[in-house]
Structure 1
Amino acid sequence: MAIQNLFWGLAQPFTGMIADRFGPVRVMATGTLLYLAGLVFMAYATTPLGLTLGAGVVIGIALSCTTFGVVYGALSRVVPIERRSWAMGLAGAVGGLGQFVMVPLSQELQHWFGWPAALILFGIAIAALAPTARTLSDQRSQEPILATAQPTQSMGEAIQEAFRHRGFWLLNAGFLACGFQLAFIASHLPAYLFDRGLSPRDGVAGLAIIALTNIGGTYAFGSWGGMYRRKHLLAGLYLARTAAIAMFMLVPLSPASVYVFCAVMGFLWLGTAPLTNGLVSGVFGVRYITTLFGFVFFGHQLGGFLGVWLGGLVYDKTHSYSIIWTASMCLGLIAAALHLLIDDQPVTRPLQLREAT
């Protein structure tokens, strides 16, 4: 999982560049085929290296082609600006619904056919979705001149402009905290609960609850992003996560406390994605949104890598997850403060000056 998060993040800026240059259709179609290849690698892997290549490297790259980094960029171009945040929230909710459905389905397939055959069946089903990518056009939405990259701005200039913007790096740092929290909980929560005396079923049920409540949370935050300032929503979301983790650490551990915690965390789970993407497009425009969000998402996945890796490392050294839970709370507070410092006004990019250069 740590390798998958890392390669997903490393590949995201480059798949974003390709999507902005050639459109999202080819990228998403290629991603589905890579996903099939990665699952085949996993099914027939006989060594740790083979499993790492399949599940970590190939599927990590495939995810950079098929998940919200590319999907949100495509939506930003075809959906009017006043409904864009709602559309991204809806897309995220549909993705969350797919996750919720596929987890129990995968368990049933493994029960009946064994895990190698189940992986192959999943790969075939995913590859069959490749033609659906053609429903995404490369139509550009109309936006005010000051809030969008002009045709005369190159991709390199857009990247340089973003890299010179203080808020871009604040957003990167905040999104790193998000990735750390989510990857740690998704990877280590079942082990933490088992270590504290609860059953493995409680861990599985908790993750299922997260997947379920994430559907409503992503849709809600996406919708709210069209009504309120996104940086304030993001700061509030990170504070709410920190409070939820703190309460989870303070109350006596029981199945009930686990389910309540997972319900709250699930609602706060991926609401960051449409808000962060919307913040990037609101400041820099949509012309190179997939590329710029790809760089921000690298920060998220770097945090995810650290959350998975450090969670295991710290537990091996201390036989406790307390340090990582505390780190998650501290990162949540830092992320909230950083988002409040972001200048979320559209960059000033007069057409006359751009044409003159």
Structure 2
Amino acid sequence: MHPSRPLHGLSIALAAAALMAITMGSRSSFGLFVAPLNAATGLGLVTISFAVALNQLLWGVAQPFVGLIADRHGSARVIAVGGLGLATGSALLPFVGSAAELVLALALLAFAGAAAGSNGLLLGEVSRRVSAERRGLAVGIVSAGGSAGQLLLGPTSQGMITAAGWQQAMLGLAALALLALPLALMFRESAGRPALSAQESASMPVRDALTSPAFWLVTGGFFVCGFHVSFLISHMPGVIADCGLPASLAGWWIAVVGLCNVIGSLLAGAAIRRGSMRRVLMVLYGLRALGVATFLALPKTEWVMLGFAAWMGLTYMATLPPTVGLVGKLFGLRHMATLVGVVMLVHQIGAFLGVWLGGIVLTVTGSYDWMWHADIALALLAVAIHLPLIERPATQQSAPSSAPATPAAAAAAVLRPAGAG
């Protein structure tokens, strides 16, 4: 970003944060609709869990394609079309009566949501339009926007469901999605982009980045993130009910997660400006494992539930700024929307498994115990797979200066050799 236009960079970040609030807030509150949807349709928890899990997966599948389309035709058009699709899909959902109709409605929501407010699209645009010294904070603001949406829409959706029924609450979310149309104007090409630095212009080609072991280590960590967050958002209302606690607690649980998410996202955005993104991610995943283990050991009271929400909220979307930052730092910004789209696709594969397996495990065993243990194991695995990473651009880590680096050498150079500290 040109130094005379810092407020423009802030306005872009705030517009992206608002879009994230709409899309992520709506997605995060969907778990509140599972029980009333099941009661209204009689489709069963396994069927609904599969449909919701498929929605998570398709949302990820759509993101690389959304990034490519935005690169060719402009992000403003993609966001506007996505907002219309999101409103349409939400408005259709109260009228589904079969498993096929539910799957189709949620598939539309997945593709539209990816276009209106996907991480790859929004964070790619913000990273390109904001100067390097402000980029970490800007990404943190966008991530916090998704958390703020969760904070606001969790109790709001629960209140609307209680007061007017789940159908009216869903129509309210459909109306909210239309706000994406004016927000899309902020992303017009006429708003301008800063010139990329020489280092950022030397981005690794997409094909070479996708063959880099480092790319798949970063992506593997985010797979774990998807498994965690989607299981919690979709199934915590059921966990709360199984513990004999009031149904209204579920809305507040989501709100507390959202509030702490805002704090965690901003702290993570600030932390990556001063320290190692790899270490930030290792700490966050370690804290998740500790949080789940502590939750399992404590009695399930309302205060324990809210404390668990606060703990997990601090780490919830805080993984997004350092993950996106690592992709940009290792592989450059030119193809960031596409590469982050691939990262999000794998994240959503994890989300698919977290939601679907949660329903299967509960149906087969009568409890979520196996899911909690899988959460802990995966979090520890995420800590381990970040150990080999080196945080220098691959274009600076290649072969000796006497010979130009090949793409394969650059891709391999972002891993620590065996025994390195």
Q: Above 0.5 in TM-score?
A: yes
The match for 1:314 among 351, 355, 361 is 361
Contact 1:41 1:53 in 2 (8 A): no
Unaligned runs of 5+ in 2: 1-51, 406-421
The match for 1:61 among 111, 133, 143 is 111
2:201 aligns with 148
1:174 aligns with 221
Deviation of 1:114 after TM superposition, in Å, equals 4.3
Please tell me whether residue 37 in structure 1 is matched to residue 88 in structure 2: yes
Contact 2:119 2:344 in 1 (8 A): no
- Number of corresponding residues: 346
1-side partners of 2:271 and 2:185: how far apart? Answer: 29
Deviation of 1:101 after TM superposition, in Å, equals 1.5
2-side partners of 1:202 and 1:124: how far apart? Answer: 25
1:86 aligns with 137
Contact 1:148 1:284 in 2 (8 A): no
Give the percent of matched residue pairs that are identical in Structure 1 and Structure 2.
34
CA offset digits 1:182-219 (Å, max 9, x no partner): 11111112222322333323333222211121111111
Deviation of 1:343 after TM superposition, in Å, equals 2.8
1:301 aligns with 348
The match for 1:201 among 248, 268, 271 is 248
The match for 1:21 among 50, 65, 72 is 72
Deviation of 1:353 after TM superposition, in Å, equals 7.0
Higher deviation after alignment, 295-304 or 252-261: 252-261
Contact 1:187 1:308 in 2 (8 A): yes
Contact 2:79 2:181 in 1 (8 A): yes
Unaligned runs of 5+ in 1: 151-156
2-side partners of 1:292 and 1:286: how far apart? Answer: 9
Deviation of 1:238 after TM superposition, in Å, equals 0.2
2-side partners of 1:337 and 1:259: how far apart? Answer: 29
2-side partners of 1:194 and 1:112: how far apart? Answer: 19
Q: Report the CA distance shift for 1:149/1:60 in structure 2 as closer, same or farther (over 3 A).
A: farther
Aligned-partner residue type, residue 76 of structure 1: S
Q: Which has the higher contact order (CA 8 A, sep 6+)?
A: 1
The match for 1:50 among 101, 116, 128 is 101
Contact 1:149 1:288 in 2 (8 A): no
2:236 aligns with 189
Deviation of 1:158 after TM superposition, in Å, equals 2.0
The match for 1:2 among 38, 53, 76 is 53
1:72 aligns with 123
Deviation of 1:121 after TM superposition, in Å, equals 3.8
Please tell me whether residue 248 in structure 1 is matched to residue 248 in structure 2: no
Contact 1:147 1:283 in 2 (8 A): no
Aligned-partner residue type, residue 215 of structure 1: V
The residue matched to 1:340 in structure 2 has which SS? Answer: coil
1:235 aligns with 282
CA offset digits 1:314-354 (Å, max 9, x no partner): 1111112111101100000000111122233112189x979
Aligned-partner residue type, residue 59 of structure 1: L
Q: Report the CA distance shift for 1:318/1:121 in structure 2 as closer, same or farther (over 3 A).
A: closer
The residue matched to 1:274 in structure 2 has which SS? Answer: helix
Contact 2:228 2:375 in 1 (8 A): yes
1:263 aligns with 310
Deviation of 1:17 after TM superposition, in Å, equals 1.2
Q: Report the CA distance shift for 1:254/1:109 in structure 2 as closer, same or farther (over 3 A).
A: closer
Aligned-partner residue type, residue 113 of structure 2: L
Aligned-partner residue type, residue 151 of structure 2: F
